[in-house]
């Protein structure tokens, strides 16, 4: 078994980063990480919320980014630079139209030394910062990558970041009867009472009394 060379991946990552850096609202770089056996380049993009939907469409249609593996949402209420952060993890696998035989996908034998351009596998990381708001949201990419469907639901459920245009948004980890506005990874939620009704009293958590701050479950 052969692997794509470190040199080939770094060159392809730098080419992609340089190209995307020319897009309005995008700042790109190549983060070189170690996988233990060789350097693994990751194309890192800082994207403005306003530019995100167009950038996502371009990543998919123009640059062969075919898989959304994970979306992470973070609440930073004490940060001066950001109050909310969304991090997308993508892969460009280079696998296109795999052959089938009797309903079973067949392996594709590829000479990795001959891979060029958008056929070179890469990791792409997209970071979006949002300002101080109680209604954080960005454009959904559910219709572009099927892998984004569950990840957007999970990020909204736990962190409360909404994805505009997402069809069928619902609770997937919290109980379905969880009150509107309660997202456990938002930092203002400081209390976890044993009693169900007490736990969800004042779901937004902004009116918690300081005296109650140590009453954790």
Do residues 116 and 207 both lie within one domain?
Answer: no
Do residues 29 and 78 both lie within one domain?
Answer: yes
Q: Say what the pLDDT of residue 206 is.
A: 46
Q: What is the pLDDT of residues 117-150, one digit of tens each?
A: 777 889 999 999 999 898 999 999 999 999 999 9
Q: Is residue 44 a part of any domain in this protein?
A: yes
Q: Is residue 180 a part of any domain in this protein?
A: no
Domain count within the chain = 2
Q: Is residue 182 a part of any domain in this protein?
A: no
Q: Say what the pLDDT of residue 124 is.
A: 97
Do residues 201 and 151 both lie within one domain?
Answer: no
How far is CA 213 from each of CA 53, 122, 150, 179, 202, rounded to the nearest angstrom? 40, 45, 33, 21, 14
Name the CA radius of gyration of the chain, rounded. 21
pLDDT above 80 (res 79): yes
Do residues 142 and 36 both lie within one domain?
Answer: yes
Do residues 43 and 132 both lie within one domain?
Answer: yes
pLDDT band at 60 (very low <50, low <70, confident <90, very high): very high
Non-local (6+) Cβ contacts of 169 within 8 A are 152, 153, 156, 162, 163
Q: What is the domain range of residue 207?
A: 187-217
* pTM (two decimals): 0.81
Stretch 9-29: mean pLDDT, rounded?
Answer: 95
């Amino acid at each position: 078994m052969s692997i794509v060379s470190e040199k080939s991946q770094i060159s392809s990552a730098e080419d992609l980063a340089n190209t995307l850096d020319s897009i309005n609202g995008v700042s790109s770089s190549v983060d070189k990480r170690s996988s233990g056996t060789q350097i693994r380049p990751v194309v890192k993009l800082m994207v403005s919320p306003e530019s995100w939907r167009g950038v996502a469409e371009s990543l998919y249609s123009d640059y062969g980014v075919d898989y959304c593996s994970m979306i992470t949402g973070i609440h930073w209420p004490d940060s001066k630079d950001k109050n909310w952060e969304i991090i997308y993890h993508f892969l460009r696998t280079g696998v296109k139209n795999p052959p089938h035989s009797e309903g079973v996908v067949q392996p594709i034998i590829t000479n990795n030394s001959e891979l060029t351009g958008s056929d070179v596998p890469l990791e792409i990381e997209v970071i979006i910062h949002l300002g101080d708001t109680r209604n954080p949201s960005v454009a959904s990419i559910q219709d572009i990558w099927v892998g984004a469907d569950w990840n957007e639901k999970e990020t909204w459920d736990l962190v409360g970041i909404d994805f505009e245009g997402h069809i069928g948004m619902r609770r997937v980890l919290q109980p379905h009867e969880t009150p509107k506005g309660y997202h456990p990874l938002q930092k203002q939620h400081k209390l976890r009472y044993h009693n169900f009704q007490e736990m969800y009293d004042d779901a937004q958590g902004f009116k918690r009394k300081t005296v109650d701050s140590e009453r954790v479950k």
